[in-house]
Chains A and B, each alone.
Chain A
């Protein structure tokens, strides 16, 4: 099904014909319909993480193996966007069979072609499978990781070739834009966005329809549409995967909004750290322009709209909307006081509609399937689905899209496959450096914007870092505050100075030099920073500290009162010893020790002189027999 579109522009008839011809095979590829007659295809994940695991070489190996087999010319290898299960990458799917193969290498690629495609036998050793309680072996889309998900924003990721306009169109792409251009009036679209209950997926959760209305009603003959793709939260990679896996969905959402609010120019602001996203978005923009879906007189409607890419330059604060707009203008990305909001005075002082990548991706499904359909998913005040990036101490690292209101326990234990290494689930850190920690005790709370806020965290962009019992919560808070000290733009003192003082206090605590009064100072300082900072970065900067103080106070107390780190992570508080039993006398620790604290004869038990020990932990990391212990 290799589709090359004619170089001329498309009209509505051509788009309809394309959908009619390609929709069924693509539905089969997505697993939405049984279509045994659909062509055999090998889908290879070409998302960022799988490429790091050499999935491009796997795709090449599959092509070579197919060409050498009797199926030459009959099976196409499709490089699709992120399928989500990064842990098992590189992933290969045999379509329409729906058989998933994990951790495929060059040899695996040959076996898939020879044994499965030619021989008709599934390669069991490589097949993605999950044992569920009751002994049943689930495979393919039935593994809990996929079965529990509801894909709206990610509907095309892992299904279509990301830059293929034809494949996007065949998945009802640009159909919503057609409706908005020719059938619906602007107020009806805004009304649908409002009734859907969609809220900004960048973190703050502002109702999208209301934002659109403000910009529509703002006076001015020049307005702008902006996509915030400055995904700075460490641990979040949904915007990246969307831009890499389905760039046309962002373009379509922005064009729809352009029509509705009366804007002719859009900007997508993407991080410089995401070269692949920039490349694929650029290709998609060029294809849309060539087809007449961007540019002048779109589809003969008289509506003009075009989009430019703006590349960020590595500043976390640029994820804040006013800072991002300053950055597009070519200035230092420092936030501005609001009001005026960007809806009134944004880019170059003109009304500007700015939404996150994931929000844009959700626009066309709402218009096509209706506000009621979207509003039926989720909780009372948080509708639809949310994409989370699962990482940290979890078996299935990756990207998942789940209905709002799902419990953390379902995400961790069923979709995430639990905690590896027999460790205990301690907490989940949501919302990146601006977020907080949700303790395991609250794992059954339905997740939405409000419930996370009540727990002292935020939804944020959707990064979800799972922590096991070896994570020290004080050290984690220190890590985030250190991040924010470096990323604070320096404009307002509460953030610039306050985060630095918080970091100093946290360093004192992790070194065992703090007193009980320091914890009170930390808490009241945090509240001051929350209240007095100019922008979202500063207002949320103390969240990591305050939420861990609230839920894990005993850990702080152990550091301060007993000079002890219960998780065994704060090096200065640990005492290193060598246990006689497993010590093989290899002397690696003595060689590694920078302070000469370890002595002993080869093949005999070594000992650590506590007076000389500087608590660096070098011995612990080199010991091959785990004889070095830190308590």
Chain B
């Protein structure tokens, strides 16, 4: 996903997130997290990227109120901070799925047909790269080499690497996860 696409996606995602208008303030816990980091790490604008990492680690993504807050704390304009956020692939302004699929598009995986893995994911759960399923169960990204070239083609689901993939394995893997999530939700509902 390049920077331009990411902006478009972010804009598209905005109306789909009711309860989070642009002007809303960041959560108090997020404010505390950011202020604590700045207290512990005195310095200037070079703290921006570590701070964005910290905030995304905490929230899963970087909503606009947080971008605005960070900009204010560091004495930067929000657009400068957004410029940094959109420049780096790792940062996202869109929430990701419960299962984050990261398909390796490194050369070794490409040579061993990683393209078919992306197609199979699309055929099974209907999302393309940079998208999230409507139920926010899955999100799909491409990454540049997981360093698991011996397992090519490979994909990371959250923190687990799955290797030697083909269409059938991808389909079974995703269907398995969907069933697992359904089961977990059902168990959770029973307990409530």
Contact = CB atoms under 8 A, between A and B. Distances in A.
Nearest to A277: B147
Contact of A234 (B1, B47, B108, B166): B108
B89 A327 contact: no
Contacts of B44: 330
Interface in A275-331: 310-316, 327-331
A490 B7 CA distance: 15
Given A235-B106, A330-B48, A397-B149, A314 B84 contact: no
Given A311-B49, A311-B50, A329-B46, A463 B90 contact: no
A314 B116 CA distance: 24
Interface stretch (B9-17, B138-146, B182-190): B138-146
B149 A330 contact: no
B149 A391 contact: yes
A48 B147 contact: yes
A266 interface: no
Contact of B53 (A311, A471, A480, A622): A311
A273 B143 contact: yes
Interface residues of A, number: 54
Nearest to B166: A621
Contact of A314 (B47, B50, B89): B89
Nearest to B49: A330
B149 to A, nearest CB: 4
Contact of B105 (A87, A234, A332, A622): A234
A314 B90 contact: yes
B3 interface: yes
Interface in B110-166: 110-112, 116, 143-152, 154, 161, 163, 166
B52 interface: yes
Given A235-B107, A310-B49, A314-B88, A622 B167 contact: yes
Interface string B52-77: 11000000000000000000000000
Contacts of B145: 233-237, 273
B83 A332 contact: yes
Contacts of B144: 232, 234, 273, 314, 316, 483
A396 to B, nearest CB: 9
Given A311-B49, A330-B47, A483-B144, A49 B90 contact: no
A233 B91 CA distance: 20
Given A240-B147, A389-B149, A327 B49 contact: yes
B45 interface: yes
B167 A465 contact: no
A52 B48 contact: no
A478 to B, nearest CB: 10
Contacts of A391: 106-108, 149-150, 152
A467 B88 contact: no
Interface string A425-458: 0000100100000000000000000000000000
Interface string A396-429: 0110000000000000000000000000000001
Interface string B26-48: 00000000000000000011111
B87 A235 contact: no
Nearest to B160: A52
B151 A310 contact: no
Interface in A187-239: 232-237
Contact of A328 (B46, B106, B112, B168): B46
A165 B149 CA distance: 30
A130 interface: no
A335 interface: no
A89 interface: yes
A354 interface: no
Contacts of B2: 485-486
Interface string A501-522: 0000000000000000000000
B180 to A, nearest CB: 19
Contacts of B105: 234, 483
Interface of A: 48-49, 52-53, 86-87, 89, 232-237, 240, 272-274, 310-316, 327-333, 389, 391-393, 397-398, 429, 432, 463, 465, 467, 471, 476, 479-480, 483, 485-486, 489-490, 617, 621-622
Interface of B: 1-3, 44-50, 52-53, 83-84, 87-91, 105-112, 116, 143-152, 154, 161, 163, 166-168
23 contacts: A52-B151, A87-B150, A232-B144, A234-B105, A234-B106, A234-B109, A235-B149, A312-B88, A312-B90, A315-B89, A329-B45, A329-B46, A330-B45, A330-B49, A330-B84, A331-B84, A333-B87, A392-B108, A432-B107, A465-B107, A465-B108, A467-B111, A485-B2
Given A235-B149, A486-B2, 9 more contacts: A52-B161, A272-B53, A312-B90, A391-B106, A391-B107, A391-B152, A397-B150, A479-B107, A489-B87
A-B CB proximity, top 10 nearest: A313-B88, A234-B106, A314-B89, A391-B149, A391-B108, A314-B90, A330-B48, A86-B150, A234-B145, A52-B161
